[in-house]
Amino acid sequence: MAKKLYVGNLSYKTTGDQLSEMFSEAGEVSSANVIVDKMSGRSRGFGFVEMANDEEADKAIEMFNGKEVDGRRLVVNEARPLKERGSGFSRNRRR
């Protein structure tokens, strides 16, 4: 079963293709993407990599967590599920 990994502290010049290539050293990469700011189109310095199975994901965490890439120490761990977000509007606002 595939496991999604969070990859933080990326260089702002890192692309999804580079991330995929790097993590392929640990095993089969199902997908890799770097999160970009909607307004500027600039990398936000983190991304997600989905590994084909749990063993390869664990190997990737071991290989890359704390590894220095482009002068930055990567933070790699299992991605947490996205929490449901509110609309940003509260009906209980004080007037």
pLDDT in tens, 44-70: 999 999 999 999 999 999 999 999 999
Produce one character per residue of 20-40: b if its CB has 16 or more CB atoms within 10 Å, e if not.
bebbeebbebeebebeeeeee
**Looking at this protein, which amino acid is placed at residue 82?**
L
Residue with the bigger pLDDT between 71 and 88: it is 71
d(CA 19, CA 30): 12
pLDDT at 83: 77
For tokens 């930055």, the residue is: 72
pLDDT at 70: 94
pTM for the whole structure: 0.84
Identify whether the C-beta of residue 53 lies closer than 8 Å to the C-beta of residue 38: no
pLDDT at 93: 54
Round the average pLDDT of the chain to a whole number and report it: 91
For 61, the enclosing helix (H) or strand (E) is helix 54-64
Band of residue 81 on the pLDDT scale cut at 50, 70, 90: confident
What fold does the segment set 3-77 form as a domain?
Alpha-Beta Plaits (3.30.70)
| In the chain, domain spans | 3-77
